[in-house]
Amino acid sequence: MELTKEEEEMFVGEKGDGVQKAMEIVVALGKIYNAEKLVMVNSVQVSGVSYKNLGDAGIEFLEEWARKGGRVSVRTTLNPAGMDLENWKRLGFKEDFAQKQLKVIDAFKKMGITPICSCTPYLIGNLPKFGEHIAWGESSAVAFANSVIGARSNREGGPSALAAAIIGRTACYGFHLNENRKADFVFNVNCEVKDFSDFGALGNIIGRTVKNKVPYIIGIKNYNQDDLKVLGASMAASGAVALFHIENITPEARTKNMIKDSAEKIKIDSLDDGYNSLNSNVNEIDFVSIGCPHASVDELKRIAELVKDKKLKAELWVTTSKYTSEKAKDYVKIIEQSGGKVLNDTCLVVAPVEDFGFKNLATNSGKAAFYAPSYSKLNVRFGSLEKCINAAIRGRWE
């Protein structure tokens, strides 16, 4: 791999230990994937923020890197933490978990990162441009950035994203290169896909089929930005999809042929397979979670409309970024008046949900429904937002 003179200096430690460590990580990954060079990046999303995933070893690692002078040099945002960073006590998070989580955040702060924690960085000011090289962790955000924005990112791990943020570079391989962005599969969708949960079910089916390859989807007519957000999230959970194209919708598919000659063609006539694989048969619901990926202002508005003047029987968590909930203060108030909770900075997948004693979850997210049984030991009902809010009001799935 070719390094510039400045990159060589970083690699041999002339810019300090923290920079050297970062350069070593990026160069090693470049070697493994046969990168010929590094590319500059101006946007990084760091995953591996929740103490639930990092553990004590992760804290020590981050603190050591900060001590060695690791400082980010480009726009960097963080993935959700394991709790609401301000309101954790009121929301019932345990003291010992909270103290550990705050140590993680402190280490990131020392590295120069403003702790805005969200899986939707593109909604809170970290919005790359079409064609821009970026280094993002968080599988759902990578799928959105590559596909809906047309930026270029591999699925970075926590340390490799942080390394890229410190040196402002990532290794040029995988989805940074034109030749790897064409679709390996073409899906002809012949059934109606309209609700947010429909997009999650479709994503679940496609992800399981293509694994880490690139799908091209034909037959999507009505959609909004939130639908594309959950489509990618669900594909990235059931598979390892980092990039998808939708005919006439996503930017690369609109401008050129993004299908490989060898692409396999598959028909989808029903979403039942997706719904069935994400649903268990429980009917009593004690927990409802909305906001995976983090809810937008528009989603908070729809939830507020559904719970207005109602009293909830089941616990309702709406997870979003602090930025979004501040923009949607009036909706947050209505949700809280119904007994629902709006949690900033965290989400179902990375919070220590098992500490709260919930049993049966209802969610409209194809990603949350995929992970909840294994990560949080919950039985899951998966369906539309209306069904989920109805379950929150009545304590039953109907």
Interface residues toward other proteins, by CB under 8 A? 21, 24-25, 28-29, 31-32, 53-58, 60-61, 65, 157-160
Beta-sheet strand order (sheet of 259-268): 245-246, 215-218, 183-189, 259-268
Give the shortest CB-111-to-other proteins separation in angstroms.
14
The residue (of 186 and 237) whose beta carbon lies closer to other proteins is: 237
Task: Between 35 and 259, name the residue whose CB sits nearer to other proteins.
Answer: 35
Helices marked H in the chain:
5-11, 17-32, 51-67, 95-110, 139-144, 158-167, 196-210, 225-238, 251-255, 272-278, 297-307, 322-327, 329-337, 366-375, 385-394
Nearest residue (CB) to other proteins, 56 versus 86: 56
Shortest distance (Å) from residue 172 CB to other proteins: 16
- Structure letter (DSSP) for residue 129: P
Cα(202)–Cα(319) distance, rounded to whole angstroms? 23
Q: Which is nearer to other proteins, 177 or 191 (CB)?
A: 177
Rounded to a whole number of angstroms, the minimum distance from the CB of residue 391 to other proteins is 32
Residue 47 CB, nearest approach to other proteins (Å)? 9
**Exposed, middle or buried: residue 56 (CB in 10 Å: 0-12, 13-18, 19+)?**
exposed
Q: Are the beta carbons of 64 and 102 closer than 8 angstroms?
A: no
Which one, of 173, 174, 144, 157, lies nearest residue 244 by Cα? 144
- The CB-of-124 to other proteins minimum distance in angstroms stands at 24
Whole-number minimum distance, CB 60 to other proteins, in Å?
6
Closer residue to other proteins, CB minimum distance, 50 or 344: 50
The CB-of-110 to other proteins minimum distance in angstroms stands at 17
CB 289 within 8 A of CB 361: yes
DSSP string, 353-365: GGGGT--EEEES-
**Cβ distance to other proteins smaller for residue 267 or 377:** 377
φ, ψ (nearest 5 deg) of residue 71:
-135, 135
Closer CB to other proteins, 76 or 321, in the complex: 76
